[in-house]
Structure 1
Amino acid sequence: MTSLQLAAANLLSPMTLCFALGALAAWIRSDFRLPEPVFAALAIYLMLAIGLKGGAELATVRPSDIVLPILAALTLCIVVPLWCYAALRRFVRLDRIDAAALAAHYGSVSAVTFLAVLGYLDAIGVSYEPMVTALLAVMETPAVVVALLLAGRGRNAGHSLGVTLSRMLSSKSIVLLLGGLAIGMLVGQQGLKPVKPLFGDLFLGLLCLFLLDLGRQAMEQASAWRRNGFAIALFAVAAPLLNASLGLLAAWLAGLPQGSAVVLATLAGSASYIVAPAAVRMALPEANPGLYLTASLALTFPFNLIVGIPLYAAMAAALYR
């Protein structure tokens, strides 16, 4: 399958098309909107399902096989926010707080983009290792901590780094993801069979519903682009390309096979819009949400969904040829 065919397959997948439908609904000012409790329930379901599946698969992995990949992932969590912060300060001319807020989003990862790349790899028949879910789990928070240190907020008594980190680790997404991993590892593939109809068979369908509303949210945030300028838009497209390249290199150095390398590259190239916004709102309340939400959700997320994932797969194919 050529790179063009791969891109077309991703563009025409139900997940991508549902995202596009949600964006179209917002653009034509439809009254479509998932009720907030439904959207929250879908988010809970997706996080728990990711954890359960990944944990059950991790139960078959030797600990020694995951040490280097996790070290590679943690290295990315330090390098990415550092270069993003420096570039945003020097070239985009953002102040310290807004630069740190954006660096936190681009150093952290998107669980929905992770799901999209797994679905893409399954669709094109490329295998990946079961421990990739652990990479998602370890990459959620470290970059946010690095970015908050760059912002110099650890000295603030009201929003100390320790309090912020504690609240992040007890947040819904982290608890469900890590808890699901633990449960999956304890019960294994056999133990998950009774709940497979819910957490396996229905998974992609419920993900489509989640992406439908995310498409609406992304289009509504995109209206802020004019206020935030061309430089932010350029960063929102250039950053995932550079970060994914770093992720691909890290995967290759860590000895990951091609499919898992695509996953790590996609994680590195993604931007958080669940964990990072919650942490930034709490620790850096003066940061401009029009900047970090527009960049991560309205620009980087659809870019990765439509263009980035097939591109990273093609880059990995060239590297591993």
Structure 2
Amino acid sequence: MSEIVIHNLTSPFVLIFLLGMIATIFKSDLKIPSSISEVLSLFLLIAIGLKGGIALSQYDITMIMAPIGGALLLGFFIPIFVLIITKWTKLDFANSIGLAASFGSVSIVTYGAAISFLEHSAVSYEGFMNALVVLMESPAIIVSIFLYKVMEKNESIQVSSVAFSSPYTRMIDKEIIKESIFGKSVFILLGCLLIGFISADAAAPIVQPLFFDLYNGVLILFLLNMGLLAGERITEVKKHGISLIGLAILFPIVFGSFGVVIGSIVGLSVGGATLMGVLAGSASYIAAPAALKTSVKKANPSIYLGLSLGITFPFNLIIGIPMYFHIAKFLTFGGI
């Protein structure tokens, strides 16, 4: 496993991210304009959505129901587990919801880095995994905001009882649905997934030159910007104590490992199970914060963004991805 970690540490994706962090720590004037950062994010979302749709069109949907079910299971239950765990950290409920939505949802960029890792290692994976990224993006946000609205109505309900009681469907309104599903990140992913699925092979030669061939180059630019942002968030994370920092490392280890196991159970290859682990172990800093900003205003962005972007994101880039790959190999080949 040490060779895999070293290989990932020396990849251009990790190094460019570290370069951005170093630039911020040493107060360099290196900056990426917010408008360009927005374009980079949009590019990655469109590319992943199109890839997922085109890949999904190549499969009989009845043949991939098990992986889809596994992905949705993770998306719905991880935020509930996060709420139960944070219940013992004395973190208030609003900030616990912020962590639940962030760690229950997925990191598109971490997933993209994992794909690059697998391709560089000549490890194949199921093409429909790109579609599962979209499926796992929204459920955790919906579940988290839903539970928050429930608690707003009845503050005496405990987290554990809310998590396992009957649905409070009367409390779901149009605004919750809009914020959770029609936010720009989820919307563009779903839209491009549908476009890719409908257009199928006809779309491939059209989108290939821009969205597929240039994907890794754009990802490097985006990771540089993420490094700059992560460097700014490190000091904010320290203010909230070592326990939360520990959770930002514990969550990807536990959920990522569980994701690999689920991937193996539903019949995914080593590469596919690795990606399922990445999806389960990563934390959102695009879609989830956008929804939390308007739906859970009491949640402190420096906590859920600081942990997901400043701790979990670099942890997954450096250690998490090779770790999930190693676990997937062990489950498939018995440690070979």
Query: Structure 1 residue 62 and structure 2 residue 60: aligned?
Result: yes
| Aligned pair partner of 1:29 in 27, 31, 34 | 27
| Aligned AA (1:59) | S
State how far apart, in whole Å, the 2-side matches of 1:161 and 1:7 are.
Answer: 46
Most deviating of 146-155 and 74-83:
146-155
Instruction: Show the counterpart of 2:106.
Output: 109
State how far apart, in whole Å, the 2-side matches of 1:107 and 1:227 are.
Answer: 23
Instruction: Show the counterpart of 1:220.
Output: 232
SS for the counterpart of 1:252 is helix
> Is this contact kept in 1: 2:55–2:131, CA < 8 A?
no
> Is this contact kept in 2: 1:228–1:290, CA < 8 A?
no
State how far apart, in whole Å, the 1-side matches of 2:82 and 2:187 are.
Answer: 28
State how far apart, in whole Å, the 1-side matches of 2:25 and 2:42 are.
Answer: 27
Query: Structure 1 residue 167 and structure 2 residue 179: aligned?
Result: yes
SS for the counterpart of 1:224 is helix
Query: Structure 1 residue 288 and structure 2 residue 285: aligned?
Result: no
Q: How does 1:137-286 map to 2 (within 5 A)?
A: 137-153=134-150, 161-286=173-298
| Percent of aligned pairs sharing the same letter | 37
TM-score (norm 2): 0.90
Question: Are the structure 2 counterparts of residues 149 and 195 from structure 1 closer, same or farther at C-alpha, using a change threshold of 3 Å?
Answer: closer
**CA-CA distance at 1:186 after TM superposition:** 2.3
> Is this contact kept in 2: 1:116–1:305, CA < 8 A?
yes
Query: Structure 1 residue 129 and structure 2 residue 126: aligned?
Result: yes
State how far apart, in whole Å, the 2-side matches of 1:52 and 1:78 are.
Answer: 24
Question: Are the structure 2 counterparts of residues 274 and 161 from structure 1 closer, same or farther at C-alpha, using a change threshold of 3 Å?
Answer: farther
State how far apart, in whole Å, the 1-side matches of 2:300 and 2:132 are.
Answer: 29
> Is this contact kept in 1: 2:256–2:278, CA < 8 A?
yes
Question: Are the structure 2 counterparts of residues 154 and 235 from structure 1 closer, same or farther at C-alpha, using a change threshold of 3 Å?
Answer: closer
Instruction: For residues 225-270 of structure 1, give each alpha carbon's deviation from its aligned partner in whole angstroms, at most 9, with x where no partner exists.
Output: 2211000000000010000111112112212222111001110000
SS for the counterpart of 1:136 is helix
| Aligned AA (2:71) | A
Gaps of 5+ in 1: none
State how far apart, in whole Å, the 2-side matches of 1:42 and 1:225 are.
Answer: 26
Gaps of 5+ in 2: 154-170
| Aligned AA (1:152) | K
> Is this contact kept in 2: 1:98–1:287, CA < 8 A?
yes
Q: Provide the aligned C-alpha RMSD in A.
A: 1.6
Query: Structure 1 residue 73 and structure 2 residue 71: aligned?
Result: yes
**CA-CA distance at 1:62 after TM superposition:** 0.8
> Is this contact kept in 2: 1:270–1:300, CA < 8 A?
yes
**CA-CA distance at 1:8 after TM superposition:** 1.6
> Is this contact kept in 2: 1:145–1:161, CA < 8 A?
no
State how far apart, in whole Å, the 2-side matches of 1:93 and 1:206 are.
Answer: 40
Q: How does 1:78-89 map to 2 (within 5 A)?
A: 78-89=76-87
Query: Structure 1 residue 301 and structure 2 residue 313: aligned?
Result: yes
TM-score (norm 1): 0.94
> Is this contact kept in 2: 1:154–1:161, CA < 8 A?
no
Instruction: For residues 112-153 of structure 1, give each alpha carbon's deviation from its aligned partner in whole angstroms, at most 9, with x where no partner exists.
Output: 111011111101011111110111111111111222233235
State how far apart, in whole Å, the 1-side matches of 2:90 and 2:174 are.
Answer: 29
Question: Are the structure 2 counterparts of residues 77 and 30 from structure 1 closer, same or farther at C-alpha, using a change threshold of 3 Å?
Answer: same
SS for the counterpart of 2:240 is helix
State how far apart, in whole Å, the 1-side matches of 2:213 and 2:201 are.
Answer: 14
> Is this contact kept in 2: 1:129–1:259, CA < 8 A?
yes
> Is this contact kept in 2: 1:153–1:161, CA < 8 A?
no
Most deviating of 145-154 and 15-24:
145-154
State how far apart, in whole Å, the 2-side matches of 1:142 and 1:188 are.
Answer: 26
| Aligned AA (2:143) | V
